Amino acid sequence: MKTITTSILVLLFGVASLAQDTATASTDNDTMKVRPFQMTFVPPMSTNGVESSNIINKVSVNIFAGYNGGTQGVELSGFVAVDKKDVSGGQFSGFGNIVGGNSNGVQAAGFFNTTRGNFRGAQLAGFHNYASDTLWGTQAAGFNNTLRGSMQGAQFAGFANVATKNSVGLQGAGFVNTLTGNLTGTQLAGFCNVVTDTIIGGQVSGYVNYAKEVKGPQLTGFVNIVSGEIEGVQASGFVNYATRVKGVQLSFINLADTVDGVSIGFLSLVRKGYHKFELKTSESLHMMGSFKTGVYRFYNIFSAGVNFGDRMRWAYGYGLGTYIPFSEKLGLNIDATAYHINEEEAFTDEVNLLNRLDADIVFKLGKSFELAVGPSINVLVSRYYDSENNQLGSNIAPYHFYNRTTSGGTNVKMWAGGNLAIRF
């Protein structure tokens, strides 16, 4: 217990001394003596005595803890090592290493490493690494790496990585990566990645990615957010958001202001995209209302309709489509839509699915008003039993050129039809 207390006092003394030395800047490496070897039990029980803080050692051995001027070679410590100025070579400690200047080489400790200047090489710790200026190399820690400067290299942490200036390289963390400024490289995190400015490379996370600008892929399990522009692929499990997209959005929900490319998902809302309300009639659904949203190359269709045939039927459907322009006033819509048909009730439990493929020639008659007409191919897949007519399958089809019932009790009908629609 006394030994541990002594080591803590040494550690605090070293930190306080570093702060004072930095403030006064009274001693630098050029004025320090260089010796081949020193051994310390705990300061000032050292072969260098009370002068240890003003001596640079080639080989430094601290049985428990040491406070030295610097190292040009290797330093070994059982618990903690504190160097007032620069360290070049290797610094190895059972608990922690502190360097008041720059480090060049390997800094490895069971718990933490701290360098108050630049770091070149590898900083390896069981819990935490810290450098207050530029990193050229690697930081690897069981919990956290903090860099109050730029990086040219890599950070690996079990929990979090932090860098506060423009960087080049890789951040990989079990939970979160944050970088203030620009990153040329890649972020990989189990939960979240954040770049406050531009990333040229990629972001991959389990839950959330954020950047101001992205040039490359942005991939996550839940939400991607780009407050400016993304050039590349933005893919998530639930929501993508970007102000401007040059490339592909792929998610359940896509949100954007402008898209130069395509947004693919269940729902895509693009402010400067494709938005149409449609009223349509056909041979099977006599009145339909639809909303189309997305971009011209790929849009979503939400639709509902009714049939006034031998009985009252209503349907709701979802589909996908594309618009091919021929000229400023003429184009072609190709829509594929699936409708669930409900037979004289609020909801029909059995499979009763009408699948339509429409090809409509579009005539633009005004700024937003359109007239569309074209043929369709219809496939009805039904397990609905019509007890009134004693037949399997819906009778919504006015006629058919194919009618088969499988051994499993599914009726399939096919027929050709047509559409007439107005859009605005």
Distance of CA 251 to the CA centre of its chain: 12
* 185-223 residues labelled b (16+ CB within 10 A) or e (exposed): bbbbbbbbbbbbebbbbbbbbbbbbbbbbbbbbbbbbbb
Q: Looking at residues 146-158, what average pLDDT do you find?
A: 97
pLDDT for 28 equals 54
Per the structure block, which two tokens stand in for 424? 């605005």
- Residue-wise pLDDT for 155-177, tens only, equals 999 999 999 999 999 999 999 99
Residue 9 sits at φ, ψ, to 5 deg, of -65, -40
Task: For residues 310 and 333, state if they share a domain.
Answer: yes
The domain that contains 349 carries what CATH number? 2.40.160
Asked whether the beta carbons of 35 and 50 are under 8 A apart, the reply is no
pLDDT band at 181 (very low <50, low <70, confident <90, very high): very high
Q: Parallel, antiparallel, or unpaired for β 411-423 and 402-405?
A: antiparallel
263: in domain: yes
Task: For residues 161 and 107, state if they share a domain.
Answer: no
Beta bridge partners of 299: 294, 321
328: in domain: yes
Three-class SS state of 54: helix
How far apart are the C-alpha atoms of 176 and 393, rounded to whole Å? 54
Residues contacting residue 90 through CB under 8 Å, at least 6 positions apart: 73, 74, 75, 105, 106, 107, 108
pLDDT for 390 equals 86
347: in domain: yes
How far apart are the C-alpha atoms of 42 and 394, rounded to whole Å? 91
Q: Parallel, antiparallel, or unpaired for β 287-295 and 298-308?
A: antiparallel
How far apart are the C-alpha atoms of 122 and 65, rounded to whole Å? 22
- Residue-wise pLDDT for 238-278, tens only, equals 999 999 999 999 999 999 999 999 999 999 999 999 999 99
Task: For residues 96 and 192, state if they share a domain.
Answer: no
Asked whether the beta carbons of 55 and 68 are under 8 A apart, the reply is yes
How far apart are the C-alpha atoms of 394 and 411, rounded to whole Å? 9
Q: Looking at residues 79-98, what average pLDDT do you find?
A: 98
- Residue-wise pLDDT for 188-241, tens only, equals 999 999 999 999 999 999 999 999 999 999 999 999 999 999 999 999 999 999
Task: For residues 196 and 72, state if they share a domain.
Answer: no
25: in domain: yes
286: in domain: no
Task: For residues 204 and 158, state if they share a domain.
Answer: yes
How far apart are the C-alpha atoms of 73 and 75, rounded to whole Å? 7
pLDDT at 407 over 60: yes
pLDDT at 59 over 70: yes
138: in domain: no
pLDDT for 309 equals 83
Task: For residues 262 and 328, state if they share a domain.
Answer: no
Residues contacting residue 346 through CB under 8 Å, at least 6 positions apart: none
Asked whether the beta carbons of 412 and 394 are under 8 A apart, the reply is no
287: in domain: no
Q: Looking at residues 3-13, what average pLDDT do you find?
A: 46
pLDDT for 20 equals 40
Q: Looking at residues 370-390, what average pLDDT do you find?
A: 94
Lowest average pLDDT, out of 7-16, 115-124, 319-328, 383-392, goes to: 7-16
Three-class SS state of 15: helix
The residue among 255, 272, 289 that closes a domain is: 272
Task: For residues 187 and 129, state if they share a domain.
Answer: no
pLDDT for 29 equals 56
Total tally of structural domains belonging to the chain:
3
Task: For residues 257 and 332, state if they share a domain.
Answer: no
Task: For residues 119 and 233, state if they share a domain.
Answer: no
How far apart are the C-alpha atoms of 215 and 288, rounded to whole Å? 42
pLDDT at 8 over 80: no
For residue 17, what are the domain limits? Answer: 1-133
pLDDT at 9 over 50: no
Q: Looking at residues 399-408, what average pLDDT do you find?
A: 94
pLDDT at 103 over 90: yes
346: in domain: yes
Report which of 336, 327, 379, 339 is spatially closest to residue 360, judged by C-alpha positions: 336
The residue among 133, 166, 192 that closes a domain is: 133
Lowest average pLDDT, out of 26-35, 82-91, 172-181, 268-277, goes to: 26-35
pLDDT for 30 equals 61
Task: For residues 154 and 52, state if they share a domain.
Answer: no
Per the structure block, which two tokens stand in for 331? 């184009």
Task: Verify cis geometry, omega within 30 degrees of 0, for the bond prior to 43.
Answer: no
Per the structure block, which two tokens stand in for 415? 């027929």
Round the average pLDDT of the chain to a whole number and report it.
93
Task: For residues 166 and 113, state if they share a domain.
Answer: no
Q: Parallel, antiparallel, or unpaired for β 239-250 and 223-235?
A: parallel
- Residue-wise pLDDT for 307-332, tens only, equals 998 889 999 999 999 999 999 999 99
Task: For residues 380 and 259, state if they share a domain.
Answer: no
